[in-house]
Structure 1
């Protein structure tokens, strides 16, 4: 039986993996066998998944953005045959991000279908304690999953980006502003605010994930060969993002900003905690409280019976008062030049004299 890896080597392997290196590159960097690195990466990633499931729950996340990121296991969906294993296919990463703390609240790896969307939204619902403002893209199964799990206790809207297709613009219209809006914001249920309907933060998180998790990069050899390895790599990457990596905007880690940790973790602490983490029961959905968001005043509300949501007084846009309407400035007097006196009317011209009638001869005199 081979000797266990020392803690220093384990931290070096984890450091290489969270920077986007492949398994073979990591094995060369730490001078270890590829099988040893693979076995440790699986145990570490699965421990990070258990750690996330136990610690990231009971959150008062008021503004949430959700999105899916494409990847694949062994084969892309277009090349899958009937004889291939069921896990050889596209594998999407569903992510729910807190727009205020940038914390990855919930994530799920699976196909882009209604069943996996339902499992993802159900897990998100079980980790929250307040009525959230949720934004997704235009993926249709989100509507049914959100309604089934939140039952009206959410302000839900969709943000759809309208990418222009077809032929390029003609030279006559190349520099004109777009004729159609790029983003379409649609309220689904609740009282979503137009300024909060956005997926910018979670899309930036997807970009971060493609840089730090090598298996999610495009056009490279670091793609996952098994679904178990793919999920473990995603779990390690998200755990390092939440607990270890300092966010540039926040100045600390998302876990500290969300109140889950007192200080940023070191990678050594993450490795030690993940390897010691045991399996725990998944979170159970609790009744959601209606709390005012940052910068909002509390409004009258009453919870509907049967957990059907809340009856709230939503402030709308009021028309401007008459006093606030600016009045046009008074017109300045304009100097009118004095007109010259009109000349006296002249006498009418004399009437023409009557003309004498003359008989014309057409054929001459005979």
Structure 2
């Protein structure tokens, strides 16, 4: 299911806005979704800002008292999938579990520690939107010529097709 979308730059502030919107949609009784992304550092910082808690390290009696720091919640799960390319060909995919217990994450995906975790859920949404909405095809006659019409396309698309198909499923 397409929970939310956010138009903006690839900045931490825009990522925070996106995750706040996702958090508004989530029921307090449901678990935090599993997040996957490519090598985009803004995601990590934004996830900690939205799904983090302030922790005060213990003072050991010597020197200055430590400053409070923002740490991720225990049930936050985030996986970075890095695609190494040579001349536009992917020759290696590296997965890094940034937040969460690796055993629990691999179990959720039904995989063992040597198996592949990819960004296929997000990639599937992108492909579905691009193939279903002519305005998102670059170099096409129907490409969005104004920002206003481009911004209105995804909410309209999401409302009209949510009854027909599911866009995004999280493994729970």
TM-score of the pair, normalised by structure 1? 0.34
Report the CA distance between 1:132 and its aligned residue.
Answer: 2.5
Matching residue of 1:148: 49
Moved over 4 A (4+): none
Report the CA distance between 1:194 and its aligned residue.
Answer: 4.1
Contact 1:154 1:190 in 2 (8 A): yes
Is it true that 1:208 corresponds to 2:128 in the alignment?
A: yes
Distance 1:115 1:124, change over 3 A: same
Matching residue of 2:60: none
1:225-240 matches, within 5 Å, as: 225-240=145-160
Deviations 1:276-317, CA, capped at 9 Å, x for gaps:
xxxxxxxxxxxxxxxxx75xxxxxxxxxxxxxxxxxxxxxxx
Residues of 2 paired with 1:208 and 1:122: CA distance?
24
Residues of 2 paired with 1:133 and 1:202: CA distance?
12
Matching residue of 1:190: 100
Structure 2 residue matching 1:183: 3-state secondary structure = strand
Report the CA distance between 1:235 and its aligned residue.
Answer: 1.3
Deviations 1:31-87, CA, capped at 9 Å, x for gaps:
xxxxxxxxxxxxxxxxxxxxxxxxxxxxxxxxxxxxxxxxxxxxxxxxxxxxxxxxx
Matching residue of 2:166: 254
TM-score of the pair, normalised by structure 2? 0.68
RMSD, matched Cα: 2.7
Q: 2:140 aligns with which of 220, 244, 248?
A: 220
Structure 2 residue matching 1:119: 3-state secondary structure = helix
Structure 1 residue matching 2:153: 3-state secondary structure = helix
Contact 1:185 1:194 in 2 (8 A): no
Report the CA distance between 1:126 and its aligned residue.
Answer: 2.1
Structure 2 residue matching 1:204: 3-state secondary structure = helix
Report the CA distance between 1:121 and its aligned residue.
Answer: 1.4
Structure 1 residue matching 2:85: 3-state secondary structure = coil
Report the CA distance between 1:114 and its aligned residue.
Answer: 2.1
Structure 2 residue matching 1:146: 3-state secondary structure = helix
Contact 1:159 1:186 in 2 (8 A): yes
Residues of 2 paired with 1:235 and 1:131: CA distance?
23
Q: How many residues align?
A: 137
